[in-house]
Amino acid sequence: MPRISKAQSESDRYRLRAARLAAGSSWRGYEAQREWLEKLLRYDPKRHFTEAEREAIDRIAAARTMFEGWGGYSVAELIKAASRYIADFSYEDELFLKELQAEAAEEICLDDMRQLLSLCRLAGLDLPRFRPVIELDGEAA
């Protein structure tokens, strides 16, 4: 059985991470990143990922960290709280909330959670500060 080099082992690990990320759901606003991940996965499996590609996969993984809620509230409860004041928000925020409602989202990614929490605060909900610790393969980012 041939030995697998350290570089190949690391590339395999990133290929697996990219495949898991690309298979995820709710890529609203991240379509280009998903397409890029799928493009990477079409490369020859023996090809090593560059340092820049590995860093980009890490950034996408961090951005795609999913949250089920914050401050003791589920995503559904946060959406409901913010939606009560939907008329007070911008058109873009209104569209954002309507998309979340249509999806019946139970979990949302990092940037969407940031936006939802800011809308909830504007709606008067008292929430703890949003400072999540993102872990990538056991490392805090």
SS3 1: coil
**43, part of any domain:** yes
In the structure encoding, which two tokens stand for residue 11, read together? 């590339």
**17, part of any domain:** yes
What's this model's pTM, rounded to 2 decimal places? 0.77
**140, part of any domain:** no
Question: Which range among 34-38, 65-69, 117-121, 133-137 shows the weakest confidence by mean pLDDT?
Answer: 133-137
The pLDDT, as a whole number, for residue 122 is 93
The pLDDT, as a whole number, for residue 1 is 59
Instruction: Compute the average pLDDT of residues 36-51.
Output: 90
Instruction: Say yes or no: 12 and 60 in one domain.
Output: yes
Q: Which domain holds residue 52?
A: 6-64
Instruction: Say yes or no: 73 and 122 in one domain.
Output: yes
Question: Which range among 34-38, 62-66, 78-82, 111-115 shows the weakest confidence by mean pLDDT?
Answer: 62-66
Long-range CB pairs of 66-69, under 8 A, 24+ apart, other chains included: 66/24, 66/107, 66/108, 66/109, 67/107, 67/108, 67/109, 67/110, 67/113, 67/132, 68/106, 68/107
Instruction: Compute the average pLDDT of residues 38-66.
Output: 90
Question: Which range among 56-65, 67-76, 115-124 shows the weakest confidence by mean pLDDT?
Answer: 56-65
**138, part of any domain:** no
**137, part of any domain:** no
